Amino acid sequence: MNTSIWHRDNAEAVVAEARNLLGRQLPQASRRKFLARGLTLGGLGLLAGCSIDDNATAEAALTRISQFNDRVQGWLFDSSRLAPTYPDSMITRPFPFNAFYDESKVPEVDEASFLLEVTGLVADKHRWTLHELRALPQYTQVTRHICVEGWSAIGKWGGPRFGDFLRAVGADLGARYVGFQCADDYYTSIDMATALHPQTLLALDWDGQPLPPKYGFPMKLRMPTKLGYKNPKHIKAIFVSNTFNRGYWEDQGYNWFGGS
């Protein structure tokens, strides 16, 4: 194959997939710039006549825009629409490490003593061992991880469908949110529709092997319908709730929905 054509086609695929995930949301670095431009294009009503030089006012407007963005992405989400999948030959090796800390600070989780805590609107609150999780039906997917920083990589993850796990614990599938607490102090929450999406995996494996620590051992939630920052690693607790919770990056200005 002509290399230039392959790179062009691959780049077009990344852009198309990113557009789908972004749902017109903006990376943190562009938020203030977008607000300023938007106000000059007829968006003055957002600030009710106030100046964007007023930091508190600008942040309030940005919050309203972000919340509206989340609602729109939620309305547009189609639980039957699948993210693209790829052949093993396209897996990115080595797959990049990415976290809010250096790789030397990846948390060490003891496999033998690990127990996954499950709380909230679930019937079965017993703590799950990794052996029990592996006893659930396992699925494998090769999908693209898209980072809000502008890079992407294709990876191969395996594990039970998260929807199967939620049904196994008797979760209230009519609840609005599922939240996660991780061993590296990361936390986030997602909507129930995304939790039940058939490609949302409770990933225990990477490329046919148990998930390495740098990629999220003992498990990560792999959601190809979300941007990378919404995919929690080193999960130690899951809760189902109707109470809205944000997340580590969301509390720093990122959109909550984070996909489409």
The pLDDT, as a whole number, for residue 81 is: 87
The reply to whether the predicted model has a pTM over 0.85 is no
Q: pLDDT (tens digit, 9 = 90+) per residue, 110-127?
A: 999 999 999 999 999 999
Percent of the chain with pLDDT over 70: 69
**Distance (Å, rounded) from C-alpha 185 to C-alpha 251?**
13
The pLDDT, as a whole number, for residue 44 is: 35
Q: pLDDT (tens digit, 9 = 90+) per residue, 143-188?
A: 999 999 999 999 999 999 999 999 999 999 999 999 999 999 999 9
Question: How high is the mean pLDDT of the chain?
Answer: 81
Which residue type sits at 70?
D
Query: Residue 186 in contact with residue 235, Cβ under 8 Å?
Result: no
Q: Which distant-in-sequence residues (6+ apart) come within 8 Å of 260 by Cβ?
A: 20, 21, 22, 23, 73, 76, 77, 225
Tell me the three state secondary structure of residue 251.
helix
The pLDDT, as a whole number, for residue 61 is: 46
pLDDT surpasses 90 at 248: yes
The pLDDT, as a whole number, for residue 66 is: 47
| β-strands 117-120, 235-241 pairing | parallel
